[in-house]
A and B are shown apart, each in its own frame.
Chain A
């Protein structure tokens, strides 16, 4: 169950309370998030929408431990991350978060296989175990035959699949996707959304996604709007959690 009024129980996977984020630039301050509340359960698929500059990326960065809030708390699976040290936070990210970015952010000098393998190099897995994991994941994202290709040899859609592979290979607690289809054509975007949907439905992943595209947003279980530093629920129930809507 996704909630934005701060009424979620302590058993929700992600629990955000009174989140403030203020940027200082020049002399002035920009208050981007202002007392934001959010509860997300395991297996939820949430889309965030909102005008440019409303703070969507800021919110994802905070949820993913890439940035620290000015005020408020974020608790994930019982761990409060807002007071972790930088070092702890890095370890926490490696274990709990998978990131998918608009620009894919693959390492250009590494092959698809090596890109997907990156998070596993931080684990104690043996080389053979890593290989098995990476191959399985590349199979899931449909790129088993492109393992040894470099990013520049792949299409945008394929690159994003590799990035999704990298995000899920270490089996994180949840995925954060910042406009995963923002740079893709309609068909590739559709395929990527199919893949994310599959991750939610078949593998029970929890996904929080930012998008500008209402068509893409509709495939999420829930769409939340970020405006004036707060989240608001959109009226209609939708997407996979409500029975799946696969039409474009």
Chain B
């Protein structure tokens, strides 16, 4: 019996929610189409808004602020995701120990690396197969901005790594030389942490390292990393020299992936997972992206409640002040439907202005770089707010929804007020 009651309750809740959403949608569509569906001239609304701008401004600012926060949060999630997704190429495959979700928990033996190097579908050039077997460590480096330490991902790579991650380019200095304690720093790492400047010698993991180059990894997460020879890193970190955490392979072509994967995973000596690099990084971004989206959504939702009340207040006072005007229109022959449309349109106009303002206010954030912890690697990743047209559109629609919520009840009230009573008002 309690099961049935719960189901019933859920059914009722879902029906209510669906009705609510439909109502909002209907209000949105009706309000937007008001200039075509209704008879009240829209200049009436625009001029009324202008005439009562001091009251309107409350609603506009409330909606602008909410839309601004909403768009900023989403662009943050967007930027984080774009940064991680840019880290993977469709033409690369990533090999991790079977079942390990990230390379931090990897463990691929040198024997396995040999199998990978000989597998079909791997691209080759004069230096041999395009395969980089890597080790990663997380090292504390002082932030330039605060002087406090933050985690930087240090990646030991094969010397031919630039031919595998083709989007990464040395922009200053040169590549590290195999067998030497030399490092190259990613563009963002060099900008963010003290000491990672060209020619400087730094200390970490019990060794001295010379910064010989700066690389640009095209806005990907690698830009926040420091790269060095995998052999040297293993030595200095006193790790076994025949174990790696991940292997990345440049494929002969993106289409060779399945062939490569089948060959590697069917080999009885191998105990590994093979993923397309781009899929791996897309998945890595999900936790953080979701976190930002949920947190941002929560903040925006709370602000939206305030903004809707602001809009409600503005619209209620608008119809209260214009009670006799509305009654006059009804007397002249305008239907209640026309009045509803007109006031919905007015609320939508106000919220549209708010939405646009909110978008404009956060637009300068676009491209602005910030840091966050990647929860899968516990290293800091630099990424930028990424405001896209879609996001702005979403922001404006969000603003309009708040407008409908704030305008619907006042509009209905305006339309259903008895004319004879409203005409007696002063």
Binding site for B on A (CB under 8 A): 57-58, 61, 64, 66-67, 86-87, 90-91, 93-95, 97, 99, 101, 103, 105, 107-110, 114, 118-119, 121-122, 166, 170
Contacts and interface: CB of A to CB of B under 8 A. Distances in A.
A166 B43 CA distance: 18
B51 A64 contact: no
Given A67-B418, A119-B332, A166-B332, A114 B423 contact: no
Given A67-B418, A121-B39, A121-B41, A105 B335 contact: no
A90 B420 contact: no
Contacts of B419: 61, 66-67
Given A109-B51, A114-B41, A101 B423 contact: yes
A192 to B, nearest CB: 18
Interface in B1-55: 39-41, 43-44, 47-48, 50-51
B313 interface: no
B325 A95 contact: no
Given A61-B420, A67-B420, A121-B41, A109 B47 contact: yes
Contact of A118 (B48, B332, B335, B423): B332
A93 B331 contact: yes
A109 B48 contact: yes
Given A64-B331, A91-B333, A118-B332, A109 B39 contact: no
A109 B325 CA distance: 10
B163 interface: no
A181 B330 CA distance: 23
Contacts of B40: 121
Interface in B321-345: 324-325, 328-336
A162 B353 CA distance: 33
B333 A94 contact: yes
A101 B328 contact: yes
Closest 6 CB pairs of A and B: A94-B333, A109-B47, A67-B420, A105-B328, A61-B420, A66-B419
Nearest to B40: A121
Interface residues of B, number: 26
For chain A, what secondary structure do more than half of its interface residues adopt (helix, strand, loop), or is it mixed?
Answer: helix
Contacts of A103: 324, 426
B328 A90 contact: no
Contacts of B328: 99, 101, 105, 107
A90 B327 CA distance: 12
A90 B324 contact: no
Contact of A122 (B43, B334, B423): B334
A114 B45 CA distance: 13
Contact of A99 (B39, B44, B331, B336): B331
For chain B, what secondary structure do more than half of its interface residues adopt (helix, strand, loop), or is it mixed?
Answer: helix
Nearest to B326: A107
Interface in B46-97: 47-48, 50-51
Contact of B335 (A61, A87, A97, A108): A87
A122 B335 CA distance: 10
Contacts of B332: 93-94, 99, 118-119, 122, 166
A97 B419 CA distance: 15
A176 to B, nearest CB: 9
Contacts of A99: 328, 331-332
B39 A90 contact: no
A149 to B, nearest CB: 14
Contacts of B51: 108-109
Given A61-B419, A67-B420, A99-B328, 10 more contacts: A61-B420, A66-B419, A66-B423, A99-B331, A105-B328, A109-B47, A110-B43, A119-B333, A122-B332, A170-B333
Contacts of A90: 330, 333-336
Contacts, number: 73
The residue in B44, B48, B328 that gathers the most chain A C-beta atoms within 10 A of its C-beta is B328
Given A67-B419, A122-B39, A107 B333 contact: no
B340 to A, nearest CB: 13
A98 B300 CA distance: 49
A58 B418 CA distance: 13
B157 to A, nearest CB: 69
A50 B341 CA distance: 40
Nearest to B416: A86
A57 B328 CA distance: 15
Nearest to A170: B333
Contacts of A64: 331
Nearest to A98: B332
A121 B39 CA distance: 6
The residue in B41, B333, B336 that gathers the most chain A C-beta atoms within 10 A of its C-beta is B333
Interface string B284-301: 000000000000000000
Contacts of B44: 107, 109-110
B149 to A, nearest CB: 63
17 contacts: A66-B420, A67-B420, A90-B335, A91-B333, A95-B333, A99-B332, A103-B324, A105-B324, A105-B423, A107-B44, A109-B48, A110-B41, A114-B41, A118-B329, A118-B332, A119-B333, A121-B39
Contacts of B333: 90-91, 93-95, 119, 122, 170
A58 B324 CA distance: 16
Given A107-B325, A114-B41, A122-B39, A66 B331 contact: yes
A87 B420 CA distance: 16
B117 to A, nearest CB: 78
A204 to B, nearest CB: 22
Contacts of B39: 121-122
B140 to A, nearest CB: 65
B215 to A, nearest CB: 63
Nearest to A107: B325
Contacts of B335: 87, 90-91
Interface in B371-426: 418-420, 423-424, 426
Interface in B161-193: none
The residue in B331, B332, B419 that gathers the most chain A C-beta atoms within 10 A of its C-beta is B332
